Amino acid sequence: MSRKQAWAYMSRTIEGPSRTLQELLAQGRDIEAIARGVKQREPWCGALLQQTQSRYGEDQSSEDLAKIRALGGRLITPEDPEWPREAFDQAFGFAASGVSEHARSYADDAVSPHALWVRGQDLGGLSQQAVAMVGTRAISPYGSRVCAMVGEHLAQHHWTIVSGGALGVDTAAHQAALAAGGSTVVVAACGLDRAYPARNAALFEQVVERGAVVSEYPPGMVPHRHRFLTRNRLVAALSAGVVVVEAAWRSGALNTLLWAQAFGKVAMAIPGPITSVNALGCHEKIKTGDAQMVCSGQEILELIQRLGSVDATAQYELDFAADPIQRLPRNELRVFDALSGQPQSVEEIAQQAGLSMALSMHLLVTLEHKGLIQREGAHWLRAQ
């Protein structure tokens, strides 16, 4: 069994996330050794033996990897450069810190995935600036207009829109991002060899060209109800904040909002007409303080950029600094720090900042407008 096959084997053998597996990996256990231990039922695997009881003899790793390659996709793990490490470390690290008072932070599935199946573009790059938009499947004309307006604004500011690919608000959010020339990520609750819902098959192919379709589940897995609930935590984890556009009283979209709170992300809701049942869930979350009311894409960006502009390890230094450079939002500061007094190309700056070329270019223009940097032909440097 190769290393990649070991990851694929564990992806199928363990349904969704596993706190025990994460603990073994954190202790320095090799994934190949863990896979062998599970197969051979070795006692040191502990609780993994019970978690894998029904599937440990079902080794389809070679077949699963062949299927994802045939789809033009791949299996990524924490060992791969495109793993969304920063987003996951922030989300699941917050949940594990003990700081949160939210019960969901300590749930069994409040841990990082051990592998992801991906079709499309670099997931790590897409998650560098991402916001989730979720809501009801029974979207109203009002909800459609809101998704188009908000989605366009976010995409134009180079924010990736993350959602679940479902009918209704999810679909409208993905379409808004694509229509504005932006990027979007679909987090699926089934294997990527099937499109669910089938009506969105063509949409998912468009997403692959400018974003990504992602799943925690290997090929062949069907979209059971519990997989949607587990999927919701990834929608929240990949995003700086979650916006609920329309949600009825018991809407599943509110589950994603709970995950946002559990992960220390910004929880937001857009109000709707008081006569609409689709607005009840949003209004309740705003009323109880479980979500901040937002009425535009600009208000969303003000909230999530404010969160990302502060390094938790240097809170007071940044809060009380008079220097406008230290007040920059987080990704703008990464680009500024990559610059020097000597002209540099966008490629060099993007590489040093660890951001995509498109996002780096957008942030360079923003910094130029703020008077902090200057352009010399096709090169950039700090303002003199």
| 178 backbone φψ class: left, alpha, beta (φ>0; ψ -120 to 50) | alpha
> Each residue of 336-377: pLDDT tens digit?
988 988 899 999 998 888 788 888 898 998 898 888 899 998
Residue 93 lies in a domain: no
Q: What pLDDT shows up at residue 84?
A: 97
Do 11 and 129 lie in one domain? The reply is no
Q: Examine the domain organization and report whether 294 and 339 are in the same domain.
A: no
Strands 116-120 and 184-188, how do they pair? unpaired
Counting beta carbons within 10 angstroms of the beta carbon of residue 347, is it exposed (0 to 12), middle (13 to 18) or buried (19 or more)?
exposed
pLDDT in tens, 291-335: 999 999 999 999 998 554 434 344 344 444 446 776 787 788 888
The pLDDT tens digits for 158-200 are: 999 999 999 999 999 999 999 999 999 999 999 999 999 999 9
Q: Considering the domain boundaries, does residue 243 fall inside one?
A: yes
Element (H, E) at 75: strand 74-76
Q: State whether 118 and 254 are in the same domain.
A: yes
257/266 Cα distance (integer angstroms)? 9
Q: Rounded distance, CA 126 to CA 235, Å?
A: 13
98 in a structural domain: no
pLDDT at 326: 64
> What angle do the packed helices 330-338 and 346-353 form, to 10 degrees?
120
Query: What is the DSSP pairing of strand 344-345 with strand 379-382?
Result: antiparallel
215 and 277 housed in the same domain: yes
Q: What is the pTM of this model?
A: 0.85
Collapsing DSSP to helix, strand or coil, 355 comes out as: coil
Looking at the structure, tell me whether residues 177 and 221 fall in a common domain.
Answer: yes
Q: Are residues 112 and 18 in the same domain?
A: no
Percent of the chain with pLDDT over 70: 95
Report d(CA 95, CA 308) in Å as an integer: 17
Q: Is 213 inside a domain boundary?
A: yes
Q: Answer yes or no: do 304 and 323 share one domain.
A: no
pLDDT at position 68 over 70: yes
> What total number of domains does the chain contain?
3
Q: What is the CATH number of the domain that holds 207?
A: 3.40.50.450
Do the Cβ atoms of 243 and 131 come closer than 8 Å? Answer: yes
Q: Say if residues 51 and 14 touch (Cβ distance below 8 Å).
A: yes
pLDDT by residue (tens digit) across 247-295? 988 888 899 999 999 999 999 999 999 999 999 999 999 999 999 999 9
pLDDT-derived band at 121, boundaries 50, 70, 90: very high
Asked if residue 355 and residue 223 are part of one domain, the reply reads: no
Whether 300 and 328 share a structural domain = no
What percentage of the chain carries pLDDT values higher than 90?
74
Please determine, for residue 100, whether its predicted confidence score (pLDDT) is greater than 90.
no
Domain with 164, as residue range(s), is 105-308
The token pair that represents 12 in the structure block = 């199928």
Q: At residue 36, does pLDDT exceed 60?
A: yes
The DSSP secondary structure of 146-207, one letter per residue, reads HHHHHHHHHHHTTPEEEE---TTHHHHHHHHHHHTT--EEEEESS-TTS-SSGGGHHHHHHH
Please check whether residues 303 and 368 belong to one and the same domain: no
Question: Is there a single domain that holds both residue 193 and residue 291?
Answer: yes
Q: What is the predicted pLDDT for the residue at 325? A: 77
What are the phi and psi torsion angles at 303 (to 5°)?
A: -75, -50
Q: Is 229 within the bounds of a domain?
A: yes
User: Crossing angle, helix 19-26 and helix 31-39, to 10 degrees?
Assistant: 130
Count CB neighbours of 214 within 10 A: 28
Assess whether 358 and 327 both reside in one domain: yes
- Three-state DSSP class for residue 142: helix
**Alpha carbons 297 and 82: distance in angstroms, whole number:** 28
Beta bridge partners of 125: none
Backbone angles phi, psi at 12, to 5 degrees: -85, -35
